[in-house]
């Protein structure tokens, strides 16, 4: 059970509400998704502490495809901001019990996340010097407001979670072989195993087909 709000707390909060703000900005970041070209290795205590033994080196058979495709995400600029009040207990205890709290005090009871993307695009690299754009550059913004300590807000008209996404028109251009390659690359990220996909690409014409416009 909450204590009744005090006049001193109300006056102090009405004058100033301390906020914590985290700002993150990255200029021209590039994220590339590659197929694993070697078996996934996970270290264990047995591998770390056992006496080293000289092992014969096994040379893998050469691949018929010298270059594996990769999928890249590029952004001209990404700007993210997270803000929330520092002294949440006193703020929430005071504001949630007011019948008509001041707007700036009520708005401060939310944790806010805003992300702005400028020039977001993607490309599929099929060979050295051969690439194709999949998602044409566009701008987008994402905003999220999440109320702090929702169990104390009993008014059914109070919004607890609000999300807003805005973007320019998004244009995606891809042939079926290109879409299949992207799907293969992304689907193997969590499995940490790509030998079957590499074998499929090496023994099929999908890479050649994807290079056709």
- Per-residue pLDDT tens digits for 106-134: 999 999 999 999 999 999 999 888 899 99
The share of the chain scoring above pLDDT 70, in percent, equals: 84
Residue 121's pLDDT is 97
What count of other Cβ atoms lies within 10 Å of the Cβ of residue 47? Answer: 9
Residue 200's pLDDT is 86
Per-residue tokens: 210: 């994807």
| Every domain of the chain and the residues it spans | 7-35+66-173
The DSSP bridge partners found for residue 103 are: none
Residue 187's pLDDT is 86
Which of 35-39, 167-171, 191-195 comes out lowest in average pLDDT?
Answer: 35-39
Judge contact between 107 and 84, C-beta under 8 A.
no
Query: pTM to 2 decimals?
Result: 0.75
């Amino acid at each position: 059970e909450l204590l009744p709000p005090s006049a001193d707390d109300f006056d102090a909060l009405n004058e100033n509400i301390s906020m914590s703000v985290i700002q993150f900005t990255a200029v021209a970041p590039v994220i590339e998704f590659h197929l694993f070209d070697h078996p996934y290795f996970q270290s264990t205590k047995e591998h770390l502490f056992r006496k080293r033994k000289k092992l014969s080196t096994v040379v893998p058979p050469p691949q018929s495809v010298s270059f594996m495709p990769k999928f890249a995400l590029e952004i001209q600029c990404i700007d993210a901001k997270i803000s929330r009040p520092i002294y949440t207990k006193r703020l929430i205890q005071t504001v949630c019990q007011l019948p008509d709290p001041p707007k700036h005090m009520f708005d401060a009871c939310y944790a806010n996340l805003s992300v702005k993307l400028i020039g977001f695009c993607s490309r599929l690299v099929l060979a050295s010097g051969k690439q194709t754009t999949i998602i044409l550059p566009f701008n987008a913004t994402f905003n999220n407001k999440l109320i702090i300590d929702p169990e104390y807000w009993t008014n059914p008209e109070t919004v607890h979670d609000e999300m807003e996404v805005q973007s320019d028109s998004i244009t995606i251009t891809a042939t079926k072989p290109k879409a299949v390659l992207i799907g293969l690359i992304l689907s193997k990220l969590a499995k940490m195993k790509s030998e079957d996909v590499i074998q499929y690409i090496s023994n099929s014409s999908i890479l050649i087909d994807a290079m056709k416009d």
